[in-house]
Structure 1
Amino acid sequence: MFKLRFESTLPVSRAQAWHWITDPESLLAEMRPLLKMTMPAGQHSLESVTPGAPLFTSWLWLFGLLPMGTSRLTLTRIDPGQGFVEQSPMTSMRFWRHERRIENERSNPPQVLLVDELTVEPLLASWVTRTFLKVFFTHRHRVLRRRAAQWVAPAASPADKPAKRQARPAPPPGPKKTGSTQAPTR
């Protein structure tokens, strides 16, 4: 069994971070292209589920091509606006626990710190699993940081957004150029 921890400072509100970590489309976008996870149609949010009850069985596909097994997605704890604990039975793991939480960023209160802590006991090849999880969660956090950097705060009005760049007017016509580069003679 081993533990891993990943964290990212995100310049977004707690509410926005909570939306991203509970919205199925946002979660799937975090995983692409490394992992494809199937979800039933109509799964709108993970925040409205009953803790401890399996939500659905999902197929996990490496690069969307190679089957890696299944996960019976189960959230054992949900703290709205703060985080959740996923402890799902998986075909490739003896034990899987993923805690994702949103903390206040102490040095910059408008920002949040998103933390993922994993406790894992794979069935086989512990070093391969550890390496893959490091690459995978580093990728997920990179996607989140990129998304946060592009995010415009929802409180901003359209007037607060930067103006679109205006096309520059064409310069006034200058003297006509001739094909000759020599100075005129007298």
Structure 2
Amino acid sequence: MINAPLRSVWERVASAEGINDEMRPWLTMSAPRGVGVLDLNTVPVGVPLGRAWLRLFGVLPLDYDLLTLVELEPGHRFHEKSTMASMRCWEHERVLVARGGSTEVTDRVTFVPRWGLLWARPMLARVVREFFAHRHRRLARYFARAR
């Protein structure tokens, strides 16, 4: 639960600055070439946007996400279906729900590793679960400092 109104939380999670702040210090993500500033409110739905590079510690290219937003309910929900260098399929759905003056943030992530990484799926599932818990903590901390 994020102690901030839904509109404020959406503005944060839909922006490149907010996305990267959630992922720090472990990762950052670039905008695909030609997209300019990544903002979920302005990207086309159903169109592959290009490679968004994931950089370890903000520096070392680790993987890329061939980013495609397949559904968008501005202010409430997005659903990304992509491929990555390491994943045949990566899906991330984020839903925001107002709960009084706070906002509930729920992420659903599913993935299928590429053939060479299938053996690592249980470990990858744990890493992804912990990474999204980290993202939620960072988001909550941001709004706690903003108050």
Partner of 2:101: 110
Do the aligned residues in 1 keep the contact of 2:68 with 2:80 (CA within 8 Å)?
yes
Select the structure that is richer in helix.
Answer: 2
Give how far 1:44 is off.
Answer: 4.9
Partner of 1:167: none
Partner of 1:184: none
RMSD: 1.7
Q: Percent identity?
A: 36
TM-score, normalised by the number of residues in structure 2:
0.87
Letter in 1 for 2:104: L
Q: Which of 5, 26, 30 is the matching residue for 1:13? A: 5
Partners in 1 of 2:52 and 2:75 — Cα distance? 25
Partners in 2 of 1:63 and 1:130 — Cα distance? 20
Moved more, 73-82 or 60-69: 60-69
TM-score, normalised by the number of residues in structure 1:
0.70
Q: Any stretches of 5+ residues in structure 1 without a counterpart?
A: 1-8, 153-186
Partner of 1:37: 29
Partner of 2:20: 28
Please state whether the residue corresponding to 1:86 is helix, strand or coil. strand
Post-superposition Cα deviations, 1:100-153, rounded to whole Å, max 9, x if no partner, equal: 010122xxx11110111111111211023112212211111110110121223x
Post-superposition Cα deviations, 1:19-60, rounded to whole Å, max 9, x if no partner, equal: 011111111111111112222573152111211112231122
Please state whether the residue corresponding to 1:89 is helix, strand or coil. strand
Do the aligned residues in 2 keep the contact of 1:86 with 1:99 (CA within 8 Å)?
yes
Partner of 2:70: 76
Structure 1 stretches of 4+ with a deviation exceeding 6 A read none
Give how far 1:66 is off.
Answer: 4.5
Provide the aligned length of Structure 1 versus Structure 2.
Answer: 141
Q: Any stretches of 5+ residues in structure 2 without a counterpart?
A: none
Q: In terms of Rg, which structure is larger?
A: 1
Partners in 1 of 2:145 and 2:63 — Cα distance? 34
